[in-house]
Structure 1
Amino acid sequence: MERKQKERKGHLVLVPCPLPSHMSPMLHLAKLLHSQGFSITIIHTQLNSPNESHYPEFSFESIGGSMLESYSAFDGDVMLFLSKLNMKCETPFHECLVKMQLRCQYTPISCIIYDAVMYFSAAVADDLKLFRIVLRTSSAANYIGLSILDESDFVSEPRMEEPVAGFPFLRIKDMPLFSTQKHTREVLTCIYNGTRTASAIIWNSLWCLEHALFEKIKNETLVPVFPLGPLQKHCSSFSTNVLSEEQGCIAWLDKQAPSSVVYVSFGSVVTMTEDELLEMAWGLANSGQPFLWVVRACVVNGSDGVEMLPREFHEATRSRCRIASWLPQQKILAHTSIGCFLTHNGWNSTIESIAEGVPMLCWPRVGDQRVNARFVSHVWRVGLQLEDRLLREDVESAIQTLFIDEEGIEIHKRAKELKKKVDISLRQGGASSEFLSRLVKYISLQETMIRLSNA
């Protein structure tokens, strides 16, 4: 092991967040950097820990034991979960790095790369004088939104429809708003500062999607920015899912007509009320389109959503509906039968849909989902957005617009054109490929400078 690591360019320590939507891009980044010649160590918590046997090319270290038994214990409060996570991880992370540096099988650590929400990593890296880079698993638009919110407190209800200064296509209601509780403001500030003070920023986004925002961020932070996305497309056969997936739906999709199926999924965290579930169900049923729907076991306030669907719904949709608890989303979106993605617009889902040229029907719930949905519907114009109050007739009408109306035909064309730009970006000489080359050179240069300074 020691001999192999010495042959590689350097030793990178990656710190993923245990939430599935954050774990996946970090593991894709690990695979990508390993392919560029770096040794990789993943330091993770026990919650949603990756299956080490799936990644024999990486080393793994675990911190924290069972300190966080489940995300559900926080009743869906993401900010409270992140606050507790960061408080509990800092000391064991520090101890883990010190022990690693003393072990002979580990080469010296070249760089710490941490998820932006794991901001405890910044303080530990600085204390140990380790070079650090942050990974942003959300869009550049979300980061800009957080910087605006940090400067202005405009969350009062009467102002929600007002345009955002400097971004007239965005409304205040489209900003990454959470609750105004104390821990929420503190966590958002720590995430923002942990990004702003890093030596460089890796982004799971594309220059062709957000180049103007990346220029603004570079000018404000004065550090290199590396938009490498979509990370999952650099190594598409590499599975990173920590949840159990149902594979049988691919055979069902094979029997459907091209571009005919509505794929419905709201990620691993979003919940809904029973009324929203029923409005969604009947909107899908009344649309007349076949649909593939991910209904997680706890999607309705911790209850089984499938059990709440009435017998009449199942009878009306039996011939053109498939429901699953979790699916291999990247495979689903790449399937030729998919014609629309009804999504909450988490960034992973958004960029995966863009990468496959699939139009979106957006129903954002919280945080960065709102700004992502607004960009999808009003900037890139590859989707439509539903109102917060979900009504079956709105779901039905929006689906029919995407599949039948002239507006939907134009949206499909723009989605395919945007996919071509993504494909070009990933090719040799494309923007994402070039940024990867620059990142490899940047890390290697920093490692050389550190080695010389310690000589």
Structure 2
Amino acid sequence: MALEEEREEHHVLPLMEPLKKEKEEHHVLMVAFSAQGHINPMLRLAKRLLSKGLHVTLATTEIARQRMLSSSATTTTAMADNSIAGISLAFFSDGLSLDYDRKTNLDHYMDTLAKFGHINLSTIIHNHTQSHGRKFSCIINNPFVPWVADVAAEHEIPCAMLWIQPCTLYSIYYRFYNNLNQFPTLTNPDMSIELPGLPLLHTQDLPSFVLPSNPLSTFPKLFTELFQNMKKLKWVLANSFYELEKDVIESMSELCPIKPIGPLVPSTLLGEDEETDAGIEMWKSEDSCIEWLNQQEPKSVIYVSFGSIVVLSAKQMESIAIGLMNTKRPFLWVVKASDYQVKDGDGQFPLGFNEETKDRGLIVSWSPQIKVLSHPSVACFLSHCGWNSMLETITAGVPVIAYPQWTDQPTNAKFISDVLRIGVRLRPNQDEGVTDEEVTKCIEKIMVGPSSEEFKKNMAELKMAAREAVASGGSTDRNIQWFVDEIIGSQGTLIS
């Protein structure tokens, strides 16, 4: 591993040409971690702010630019002038060469990103001030780049955070990292907790980062810094909507308020014009799966995907494969190359699987998920319960089979199965593994079981509530207008 030469450390790609002076009164800078699930919510919030008359620049690392340009889903033309859908783009070095594997040592990478990101983001802010004759009116970061708030303070620019997980997780983390409630410990690892606005949470319902068994140091360190220094932020926004999480949102109103301004999902899922959307893809999808879906019966297909990060073990792969095989139902399964490279096995499918399912199953390396969830043939979604995927399936109206793995996913699964009642959760046996019998049982329960109609009804209601929230005068629209008014008239103090 080698740092780039000194000339690279301060390198930033130029911003777009200065806008006309009369249009430059209020310009917002967003800073996103270089992951698709972090960048897309930012871009979609940017579009909402543009519609309210603000100008927006999104800054992220150069590695993100490389990934965008390598994807067929992001056109070279859109990136040629450093903009997407009217949103200016700026890219900065994270201090590492583009071919460095950032997953090798995550702790080191996050430290390096903070060090060089701090320097290079300051350069972007300085260049903007020099070329436009005024500062950015506001800077918006997300939880994975908390150092941005320090940069904002140094330049005397108010800072907001876009929380990209559910408000439920915001409440849990805030209380945990500020020692406001008791949580499981090494001496009492199986305790249950009860928090305002939330149901009783057992160990298996809590985010992995608050558990004593958590093996990672990077994210607890990051969240500790964030939640013990909320005074650096003037506003906290959330990728959610009030009607989805009203109890927990209200529970935080006096403690540390959070304003839901989502769901920040593709505009087509909200019944809006596709041209109003802004989003990028960092992986090439196999669009041929849509042709395959066109040949299936309505509400018949089980869609299976675990996102871009989760890597399943050989045992998990086997249980899902046999469970799908035994249902005798059509399925579309996204299996990444990394799913074949697990440590405890070769990840191959069980004997007879391919032959048994060749006429009713399709396996792809990556799918156009929005098109899949919107397709009339899809009946349910077997998911890891990442929050972006959950918002997409809610706005598409597709019930969920939850198979959480880590971070916020166990809590999301609890929320889906026990609070919203829009799906079921796979339950591990005593060996901590999910059996193929459990997979088959949950598929049947959500497809034709006694609760299947309730799941569909609840999901339809939430789908409508999401559309009403983002419509003119809806709860989300009002919150975004409030935020814009705050930026324009910002003279207040930071969150205490």
Q: TM-score, normalised by structure 2?
A: 0.82
Deviation of 1:183 (Å): 3.7
CA-to-aligned-CA distance 1:221-252 (integer Å, 9 cap, x gap): 2x5x4311111254753342222222221121
Check conservation: 1:119, 1:194, Cα contact below 8 A.
Answer: no
Q: Does the residue aligned with 1:219 lie in a helix, a strand or coil?
A: coil
Give the equivalent residue in structure 2 for 1:401.
Answer: 445
Structure (1/2) with the larger helix percentage: 1
Give the equivalent residue in structure 2 for 1:226.
Answer: 259
Deviation of 1:85 (Å): 3.0
Q: Given the alignment, which residue of 397, 415, 421 partners 1:381?
A: 421
Larger mean Cα displacement after TM superposition, 377-386 or 19-28: 19-28
Correspondence 1:413 to 2:413: no
Q: Does the residue aligned with 1:103 lie in a helix, a strand or coil?
A: helix
Cα 1:399–1:134 change in 2 (3 A) is same
Q: Does the residue aligned with 2:265 lie in a helix, a strand or coil?
A: helix
Correspondence 1:22 to 2:62: no
Correspondence 1:160 to 2:190: yes
Identity of paired residues, percent? 27
| Matching residue's letter, 1:86 | A
- d(CA) in 2 for partners of 1:336 and 1:368? 29
Check conservation: 2:339, 2:347, Cα contact below 8 A.
Answer: no
Deviation of 1:78 (Å): 6.3
- d(CA) in 1 for partners of 2:373 and 2:422? 15
- d(CA) in 2 for partners of 1:249 and 1:120? 41
Deviation of 1:280 (Å): 1.1
Deviation of 1:419 (Å): 1.4
Give the equivalent residue in structure 2 for 1:453.
Answer: none
Q: Does the residue aligned with 2:43 lie in a helix, a strand or coil?
A: helix
Give the equivalent residue in structure 2 for 1:37.
Answer: 53
Correspondence 1:357 to 2:397: yes
Give the equivalent residue in structure 2 for 1:257.
Answer: 297
Deviation of 1:99 (Å): 2.6
| Matching residue's letter, 2:186 | S
CA-to-aligned-CA distance 1:298-330 (integer Å, 9 cap, x gap): 134468x99722462111111111111112212
Q: Does the residue aligned with 2:412 lie in a helix, a strand or coil?
A: helix
Cα 1:161–1:345 change in 2 (3 A) is farther
| Residues 68-83 of structure 1 aligned to structure 2 (within 5 Å) | 69=98, 73-74=102-103, 81-83=109-111
Give the equivalent residue in structure 2 for 1:6.
Answer: 22
Q: Given the alignment, which residue of 64, 74, 84 partners 1:55?
A: 84
Give the equivalent residue in structure 1 for 2:145.
Answer: 118
Cα 1:70–1:427 change in 2 (3 A) is farther
- d(CA) in 2 for partners of 1:196 and 1:289? 53
| Residues 81-100 of structure 1 aligned to structure 2 (within 5 Å) | 81-100=109-128
Q: Does the residue aligned with 1:109 lie in a helix, a strand or coil?
A: coil
Check conservation: 1:292, 1:322, Cα contact below 8 A.
Answer: yes
| Residues 262-411 of structure 1 aligned to structure 2 (within 5 Å) | 262-301=302-341, 308-310=348-350, 312-388=352-428, 389-411=433-455
Give the equivalent residue in structure 1 for 2:166.
Answer: 139
Give the equivalent residue in structure 2 for 1:128.
Answer: 155
Give the equivalent residue in structure 2 for 1:207.
Answer: 242
| Matching residue's letter, 1:408 | S
Give the equivalent residue in structure 1 for 2:11.
Answer: none
Q: How many residues align?
A: 443
Q: Does the residue aligned with 1:271 lie in a helix, a strand or coil?
A: coil
- d(CA) in 2 for partners of 1:262 and 1:161? 35
Larger mean Cα displacement after TM superposition, 234-243 or 396-405: 234-243
Give the equivalent residue in structure 1 for 2:13.
Answer: none
CA-to-aligned-CA distance 1:398-419 (integer Å, 9 cap, x gap): 0011111112222122111221
Check conservation: 1:294, 1:326, Cα contact below 8 A.
Answer: yes
- d(CA) in 1 for partners of 2:390 and 2:318? 24
Check conservation: 2:161, 2:236, Cα contact below 8 A.
Answer: yes
| Matching residue's letter, 1:430 | G
Q: CA RMSD in A?
A: 2.6
Cα 1:431–1:148 change in 2 (3 A) is same
| Matching residue's letter, 2:263 | P
Structure 2 residues without counterparts, runs of 5 or longer: 1-16, 70-78
CA-to-aligned-CA distance 1:373-405 (integer Å, 9 cap, x gap): 100000001111112412111001100111111
- d(CA) in 2 for partners of 1:398 and 1:360? 10
Deviation of 1:57 (Å): 1.8
Q: Does the residue aligned with 1:25 lie in a helix, a strand or coil?
A: helix
- d(CA) in 2 for partners of 1:119 and 1:182? 16
Give the equivalent residue in structure 1 for 2:131.
Answer: 103
- d(CA) in 2 for partners of 1:43 and 1:183? 22
Cα 1:329–1:4 change in 2 (3 A) is farther
- d(CA) in 2 for partners of 1:30 and 1:286? 45
Larger mean Cα displacement after TM superposition, 369-378 or 329-338: 329-338
Cα 1:206–1:194 change in 2 (3 A) is farther
Deviation of 1:281 (Å): 1.1
CA-to-aligned-CA distance 1:270-294 (integer Å, 9 cap, x gap): 1111111111111111112211111
Deviation of 1:66 (Å): 6.0
Cα 1:390–1:157 change in 2 (3 A) is farther
Q: Does the residue aligned with 2:302 lie in a helix, a strand or coil?
A: strand
Q: Does the residue aligned with 2:169 lie in a helix, a strand or coil?
A: helix
Cα 1:196–1:3 change in 2 (3 A) is closer
Give the equivalent residue in structure 1 for 2:9.
Answer: none
Check conservation: 2:261, 2:476, Cα contact below 8 A.
Answer: yes
Check conservation: 1:46, 1:63, Cα contact below 8 A.
Answer: yes
Larger mean Cα displacement after TM superposition, 93-102 or 51-60: 51-60
Give the equivalent residue in structure 2 for 1:185.
Answer: 220
| Matching residue's letter, 1:59 | S
Q: Given the alignment, which residue of 473, 477, 487 partners 1:443?
A: 487
- d(CA) in 2 for partners of 1:350 and 1:234? 15
Q: Does the residue aligned with 2:91 lie in a helix, a strand or coil?
A: strand
Cα 1:39–1:121 change in 2 (3 A) is same
Larger mean Cα displacement after TM superposition, 426-435 or 266-275: 426-435
- d(CA) in 1 for partners of 2:101 and 2:305? 19
Q: Does the residue aligned with 1:332 lie in a helix, a strand or coil?
A: helix
| Matching residue's letter, 1:289 | R
Check conservation: 2:383, 2:402, Cα contact below 8 A.
Answer: yes
- d(CA) in 2 for partners of 1:71 and 1:255? 43
Q: TM-score, normalised by structure 1?
A: 0.89
Q: Does the residue aligned with 1:169 lie in a helix, a strand or coil?
A: coil
Cα 1:364–1:155 change in 2 (3 A) is farther
Check conservation: 1:47, 1:66, Cα contact below 8 A.
Answer: no
